[in-house]
Chain A
Amino acid sequence: MTQPTRTTCPFCLNGCTSGVEFNGVEHKMHYFTDAEVNQGRLCPRGNSASIVIDHRDRLCRPLLDGRDTTWLEAEALVRRWLSEVKPEELGIVYSRGRAADEIRRLHGLAQELGTPNLACGHIEPENAFNYRLEGVPDATLADIESAKTMLLVGDVFSTSPVASWRILEARYKDRKNRMVVVDSVRTRQAGFAHVFVQVRPGTEPFALVALAALIDPKVAPAVEVDRYAALAGVKRQGLEAAAAMLGPSVPGFVGSAMHTGRVHHPALHSLASQLVAKASTKPFTGFRETELPFGPMRFSDLRKAMGDGKLRMLFWTGGLFPSSYGDLLPETAKVERLVATSIFKPDPPVTGLVLPMTAELERASVGRSYWGSIERSPLASPLSGTRAFGRVLEWFGQAVEKSEATVSPSGVGEVLAMATRAAELARADGELLLVGEKKAIGLRGFHDSEDEVSIGRADAARFGVSGRNYLRVKSPTAEREFRVRVTDGVPHGVLLVGVNVHSNRCLFPLVEDELTGEVTVPPVGVTMEKTERVPVAGGENLSVWA
């Protein structure tokens, strides 16, 4: 067994220290109990590091149209393709997996090549935490530890389980400490709350703006609290109870999280959470897996350009791999020359060139966590056959680092105007709304099949289904059969599915946020029908044994 290597986990922004040791055959996780942030604790994602390193589906040869090719041929092909297209016909998309310095090089490369088509393809709503409200500080570890009152918006515990340790410690530290949770689903986290404000899916910003107005009417003046409460589907008394706990005189923090299929307007969700922080004079943290700057072009515009046939070559690097999301992004099929990077073998195969990359865990990088800047060292040697991203960039050009554009902080007036606009856009949900549930799971083969759909008891009775039945759920983009899970946690008119697996993500169409123009993945209206499949024998709900 070799000495354990040590790094900062790249799978979310909590900055946990993780490590692996190599026994000559495979890598095993090592837990560093002296680490300041996590003291050896890791979430399922962090625990999957050794599995990612040793995964048998790692890509170690370039693929051209699904067939093996050599690096020399790949380089020659990329150079030829580049010579065949004009700068404005080249699109570049980056997503999670690319380090901050690599993204800066991509910005420099786009400038050098003269293409304006550089976009961030990370479509998870969490990227909207790039929208900041002026005058709201970032929370520190000390803020969390000394918190006497805390507001959690969305499922923070599932986004950053290790961060939940400090939050729970603070919550239990004193019997007078208080926790408020605002979410559309009664999650495990909501079970810890003193006040749980259960809103209609995607309407958190309305509840938050009303909450801010109740905490400090000077910060959010002229807000019609009753109207916003009604839009969120909550009672004013619930918000008043939460406002009383979050008073400005009590130290605490506001934390917010969001993910696929849960929010309608991610930017407003982020800003409204910060508005509560501002009203209650508390610091703020947007809990998320990654932090990627927006590109000079919006991803929605790049999609349109692809759809209109204006792009003849696409360089896609990082997550949200085109092959995985081909049915959500059919525009990619219209691009004649696709160059993509991946650490895993694409499934299904991609038409174009796929280059095997060194994984995040196998290279050094610098970045930021919620609690400050971090440095990452390689956890393992690069897989034979893969190449560092920088070497591939050299084929395209010099790629000198250039600082990316940042979103300037918004003022309170802008947030309230966005909320007003969102209230105008609010429409009645259909009979059934499908919402997503994302857990901190590992990568590839490290999660359950997510073939259950959760439904509330009242709806189960209304539709005559029980835990023994199967349902076929149809969305505008896809349909899938699920086993039924009857639960109290899901509100009326809502179906809940896990969105870690691709087959479930396909149920949620990508739409353009009317407030910002960014691509987002909101809850979606669906229909369902009981299938003819033979009901499962056993209890109402299926356990892990079924």
Chain B
Amino acid sequence: MKRIVLRPDYCIGCRSCEAACRSMFKGEARIRHGEVTADTLLPQGCRHCEEPLCAAACPFQVIVRNPETGVVRKSDFHCVGCRSCALACPFGVIQPALVRHMSQKCTLCSDRPEGPRCVQTCPTGALQFVEEEKLTEKRAGVAFAVRSVHGRRL
């Protein structure tokens, strides 16, 4: 099961991830930059939660988590644009703005074997698409340690 992780040490705030997503979906990006501090915008995308609240909130069970891949997907065909998912998301990453009367949600670019476009396009490699197990290993080490944005390692 792979996840998108962010290395804040490398993020330069260029918003290429957002641009790649917007370029794919020709309109609304599904990964957006949000404020971490007053001076710091970092990309914030869908976490593909193990127990997704967006799925629980959806009145038509349009959002479903695939237990094998871990991807939380939304069926555009059945979405009525009620925005319940956007309100329920604890990370605020599902945009309330509707596109063609539907809310927009990250699919981890399941159509691409190479992985999500935002990761592929990231100029500095700040976004990475890694196996969850590997991530847990690395969390104890250095590579993915989260640092204060203003206290970059020197």
Contact = CB atoms under 8 A, between A and B. Distances in A.
A292 B73 CA distance: 48
Given A28-B24, A29-B20, A50-B23, A543 B35 contact: yes
Contact of B15 (A40, A41, A439, A486): A439
Interface in A207-248: none
A323 interface: no
B12 interface: yes
Given A29-B20, A162-B123, A486-B38, A191 B152 contact: yes
Q: How many residues of A sit at the interface, in one of the four size bands?
A: 35 or more
Contacts of B125: 41, 165
A504 to B, nearest CB: 18
B8 to A, nearest CB: 10
Contacts of A545: 34, 92, 96
Given A51-B26, A194-B154, A446-B22, A31 B32 contact: no
B38 A488 contact: yes
Contacts of B38: 485-488, 540-541
Q: How many residues of B sit at the interface, in one of the four size bands?
A: 35 or more
A40 B12 contact: no
A268 B110 CA distance: 51
Contacts, number: 114
Given A51-B26, A544-B33, A544-B34, A43 B123 contact: yes
A489 interface: yes
B24 A42 contact: no
Interface string B1-30: 000000001111111101110111010000
A164 interface: yes
Nearest to A29: B23
Among B13, B32, B34, B121, max chain A CB count under 10 A is at: B121
A341 interface: no
B122 interface: yes
Nearest to A38: B123
Contact of B26 (A26, A38, A45): A26
B142 to A, nearest CB: 11
B117 interface: yes
A168 B123 CA distance: 10
Contact of B123 (A41, A189, A192): A41
Given A29-B24, A442-B19, A446-B19, A42 B154 contact: no
A188 B13 contact: yes
B12 A188 contact: yes
Contact of A161 (B9, B12, B34, B154): B12
Nearest to A541: B38
B150 interface: yes
A489 B39 contact: yes
Contacts of B107: none
B120 interface: yes
B102 interface: no
Nearest to A41: B123
A44 B14 CA distance: 7
B88 interface: no
B149 interface: yes
Interface in A185-211: 186, 188-189, 191-192, 194
A161 B35 contact: no
Interface of A: 26, 28-29, 31, 33, 38, 40-48, 50-51, 54, 157-158, 161-162, 164-165, 168, 172, 175, 186, 188-189, 191-192, 194, 439-442, 446, 485-489, 540-541, 543-545
Interface of B: 9-16, 18-20, 22-24, 26, 32-35, 38-40, 92, 96, 114, 117, 120-125, 149-150, 152, 154
